[in-house]
Amino acid sequence: MNKSAIDEIRQRFDNDVERFSNTETGQLSTIGARLSPELITEATKRVNP
């Protein structure tokens, strides 16, 4: 199995940033997408106060 080079990973990520940054359209397939950032923040604060 071939692993992706760092530059390939960076390019794929860069191509998707715009799409996933837009919470109005970029995360429609994620259930509760608007709630997810809040849940992540709360979980992070509890794990690493």
Read off the pLDDT of residues 1-49 as tens digits, 9 standing for 90 and up. 577 788 888 888 888 877 777 666 655 555 656 667 788 888 999 998 7
Q: What is the pLDDT of residue 9?
A: 87
Q: What is the pLDDT of residue 15?
A: 82
Q: What is the pLDDT of residue 45?
A: 92
Q: Are 33 and 27 in contact (CB under 8 A)?
A: yes
Taking residue 2's Cβ as centre, other Cβ atoms within 10 Å add up to 4
Centroid of chain to Cα 17: 8
Tokens representing 24 are 């109005």
User: Rounded distance, CA 38 to CA 11, Å?
Assistant: 28
User: Rounded distance, CA 13 to CA 29, Å?
Assistant: 18
pTM of the model: 0.35
